[in-house]
Structure 1
Amino acid sequence: MKRGLGNRGLLEFLFEELIALCLVFLVTGCNSSSYTPPPDTLAPSAPFGLITTMVSATQINLAWTASADNVGVTGYIVERCQGAGCSSFAPIATPNVTTFSDTGLTASTSYSYRVRATDAAGNLSSFSSTSTATTSSSDTAAPTAPANLTATAASSGQINLAWTASTDNVGVTGYRVERCQGAGCSNFAQIAAPTTSAFNDTGLTASTSYSYRVRAIDAAGNLSTFSLTVTTTTMATPDTTPPSAPTNLTATAASATQINLSWTVSTDNVGVTGYRVERCQGAGCSNFAQIAAPTTSAFNDTGLTASTSYSYRVRAIDAAGNLSTFSLTVTTTT
């Protein structure tokens, strides 16, 4: 303390010293190199919306939505494992942007990916959801075209197809069958993808023409050229209507060994193809047996026994095999 200072001088001196100390504190305290900010312990948010896209047989591209951080995201860690549902993830890249192209992969192989963010303090976010993609095949060779395509009408509603199998450098996995309606049509549409060299096309319309062509496909999705086109027509609707029964049957003895039959022809919705003549011996007999199948409305029964009675009946048949009811029975004696 300075000597000779009065009370007033002492107060002024102390005030000046206080001001000086405050100035020193303000200057050195605010600019001191020993000051340490509080540590950043807050992790970034997890990346989301991870998308994996197959680019080729050896490359898959990744993209995701950026993470957020209280200070700032400095980059990402991309992890990968092989196979869908795998769990043996390992880091493969540390991009500082929200995309990554993974190259040098194996063809026809599935890879799963997940991503997390990091900040300057080394805080790691939780992982994004996992996304899986499969590389394409390195096979670019198409199968040979199916050969010897045939189309056979099996019924009024079905056509059966068959062809010679295609070949491929790796292996044919199936076929694509296309159809359009009518001979010479061009508006083909795929109707089936069988794995064998045959296909039965059902649910078709009776008496209708259909055209077909077939091509092969392999595991890499390579498609062959088309087979030759074949056309066939479904059968008509099945005829289930029988002819009418023959009428006016007559039996006339022509000799001791022959009886001549005639009748009025039957009618049919499609057409009568013939008749079935049955005979038994005696008036009132019932043990009829077929003896002839004429295609006209007359028949001469020969080789009979003299002075013997014979009974006859006739029914008609059409192309579908439908049989009419029998005519009335007639009896005569040689």
Structure 2
Amino acid sequence: MQRPPAPAVLVCSAALLLAACATREAEDDRPPMTPSGVTAQAGSATSVHVMWDRSADDKGVTGYEVYRAGTKVMTLPGTKRMVDIDGLAPRTAYSFTVRARDAAGNLSGTSAAASVTTPSAAPDDHRDPTRPERVEGRTDSGTSVTLTWQPATDDTGVTSYDVYQEDSRVHTVTGTRTSARVTGLRPGTVYTFTVRARDAAENSSPDSNSVDLTTPSAPGDDSANTAPTDLEATVRKGGIELRWTPPETGAPVREHQLHLNGRPATTIVWGAQPPAGTATYTMTVTDEPGTRYSIKLRARLPDGKWGAFSAQRTVVVR
């Protein structure tokens, strides 16, 4: 009986060994770093705002888990580092911790606990706080800004301030604070921020004045220069009048895209000779009084691509 050549057996064994090593190398059994900087602040008598710093992992963090007294109450994607926990009881002490998770399902250690006590409820409180005044801001870096404002007032007391970026709440601080630092932004981007005050009964104030901030661009990136500037939105009878300055592109800007409440609404096109300097457009509206519109624009650039968005303006139909 003929035996197979020995070298063939050795080659096969070597191939199997290499495959096994490659499999072991591909396995990820290293957990992410434990999240730090966890804070918990009462937003009202029945809600708490939990925040934390970004965790790190050799393969990347894909999610976070938030725990209340050791019980998981929320799972979030890796891009989120704050959450509002609702449905809580007034005048009650709570403790929150956070764990990071990677794509392989490895969980980090449990963060240090952040403790908070919700305030007393204010029954039959239907009066909104006054709006925060004189909101101002500065850019700290390409990814963060700091906002400041004058305090609001309320008949039962302001429990928190909510920071909105366009129409999304991105940060919350306690009612004793009059400043907030917003992180996780993109370089070379125009952001519009407003602040609202909130009381223990979840009544929110009207929007503060808006503040537009452009984060510094990364080296070699001038994308922010493609955004329309000086956008104004004024409610008129039967419509909303818009005025803005098109970006400098080296060629006439003949086309702008109008976004309404976060969605493309129409394309504004000029013929052979677009307006020089300030551009204007009146948008017809037929919705009932009290309807809220959020408006922003972007220009079509000479290369056919859309430029960066303008700052956003929010108006309410009278």
TM over 0.5: no
- The alignment's TM-score, normalised by the length of structure 1, stands at 0.28
Which structure would you say has the larger Rg? 1
